[in-house]
């Protein structure tokens, strides 16, 4: 009987791979939390009188002003 140490030695590659793939999402989540960009706006468009479209912009996510016709 090899015991627990023998079991670990025989399967160390599998065990290391499992540990890696189990902890990878956790560290990815932490990294994502660290580099959050903050606020985002919805992807809506407003159709202007001249037929063009404008989107929402930060910081208040209000629509950009429509272009003026000269």
pLDDT for the residue numbered 11: 84
Domain of 52 in residue numbering reads as: 39-70
**Is residue 43 domain-shared with residue 62, that is, in the same domain?**
yes
Instruction: Please answer whether residues 8 and 15 qualify as being in contact, where contact means their C-beta atoms are separated by less than 8 angstroms.
Output: yes
**Is residue 43 domain-shared with residue 28, that is, in the same domain?**
no
55: phi > 0 → left, psi -120 to 50 → alpha, else beta; which? beta
pLDDT along the chain (70 residues), means of 10: 74 88 88 73 91 91 86
pLDDT for the residue numbered 62: 93
pLDDT for the residue numbered 37: 66
pLDDT for the residue numbered 9: 79
24: which 2 tokens?
A: 């990878």
pTM: 0.43
pLDDT for the residue numbered 66: 92
Q: Based on the structure, what is the number of domains in the chain?
A: 2
């Amino acid at each position: 009987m090899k015991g627990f140490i023998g079991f670990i030695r025989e399967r160390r590659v599998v065990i290391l791979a499992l540990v890696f793939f189990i902890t990878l999402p956790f560290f990815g989540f932490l990294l994502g939390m660290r580099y959050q960009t903050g606020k985002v706006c919805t992807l809506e468009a407003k159709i202007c009188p001249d037929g063009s479209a404008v989107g929402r912009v930060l910081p208040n996510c209000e629509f950009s002003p429509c272009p003026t016709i000269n």
